[in-house]
Amino acid sequence: MGDYLNVAIELVCGLGILFVILKFLGKTQFSQLTPFDFISALILGELVGNAVYDHEIKIKEIIFASLLWGLLIFLIELITQKLKGSRKFLEGEPNIVIHKGKLKYKMLKENKLDINQLQSLLRQKGCFSIQEVEYAILETNGMISVLPKADFDKPTRKDMNLPPKDVSLPATLILDGEIVFDNLTEAGVDEQWLKQSLQKHGVERVEDVLYAEWHANQPLYLITYEESSSS
């Protein structure tokens, strides 16, 4: 009877520890599960599992190990928030695998993704042919984001007998108060144009902007730190 009671106590304690750690780390541990997050979740589960099945491990030891691991994960998350240069190394970055309707085979190889896997991911987004896709972006969590060609959008312009319309991909020009110069070049605009656009919104400094997005034939969309703090 004593063994069953010990297992029950360890399970309850383990559940409580995992709940506290996951609440502390935030919902992105599951909603945006990166390979690193997946490994951390496995290790947390393994720590609690060992406490249940290995009677030589005391509950104090498993609490210490779990809290220490949770602290390490929290510090890594903090580093990626404060040091933008570390995000690519620790979390990876999105990769465009279909660009303006053309398949980027080199990018597929770099991400260890074959055509069949790509087709499967596209079908999950409602695209049953590569020909329907204008842009496809492989996200850091292994999912794919799809921007269909205008003729295959819902409802399709083709069905409504309307002329086709060019599709463009929105570009992030400012992120966390810093200009993303690669996207600036891709959008075909320069820093002077960007600053003039900010002034039209009553913003003088790039550092005051949390996020700014460019889309062809549309005004610059931006969110300032002040707006995000007051909302």
pLDDT digits (tens, 9 = 90+) for 107-149: 888 888 888 888 888 888 888 888 889 999 988 777 889 989 8
The CATH number given to 171-230 is: 3.30.240.20
pLDDT in tens, 48-86: 666 666 666 666 776 777 677 777 777 777 776 777 666
Dig out the tokens for 58 from the structure.
Answer: 């005391």
Contacts by 8-12, CB closer than 8 A, 24 or more apart: 9/59, 10/48, 10/51, 10/52, 10/59, 10/62, 11/52
- The pLDDT, as a whole number, for residue 31 is 46
- All residues at 6 or more sequence positions from 82 whose CB lies less than 8 Å from its CB, including other chains: none
Dig out the tokens for 229 from the structure.
Answer: 């703090």
- The pLDDT, as a whole number, for residue 33 is 55
Side chain identity at 178, as an amino acid letter?
A: E
Q: CA gyration radius for the chain? A: 24
Q: Is the pLDDT of residue 17 over 70?
A: no
Q: Around Cβ 132, how many Cβ atoms within 10 Å?
A: 18
Question: Are 169 and 135 in contact, with CB atoms under 8 Å apart?
Answer: yes
**Do 94-152 and 171-230 have matching folds?**
yes
Q: Parse the chain into domains and list their residue ranges.
A: 2-89, 94-152, 171-230
The second-level CATH assignment, the architecture, of 94-152 is 2-Layer Sandwich (3.30)
Share of the chain above pLDDT 90, in %: 14
- pTM here is 0.53
Q: 45 or 174: which carries more pLDDT confidence?
A: 174
- The pLDDT, as a whole number, for residue 101 is 86
Q: Around Cβ 20, how many Cβ atoms within 10 Å?
A: 13
Q: Is the pLDDT of residue 175 over 80?
A: yes
Q: Is the pLDDT of residue 27 over 90?
A: no
Lowest-pLDDT choice from 89-93, 166-170, 184-188, 195-199: 89-93
Paired residues of 100 in beta bridges: none
Coil, helix or strand for 69? helix
Coil, helix or strand for 19? helix
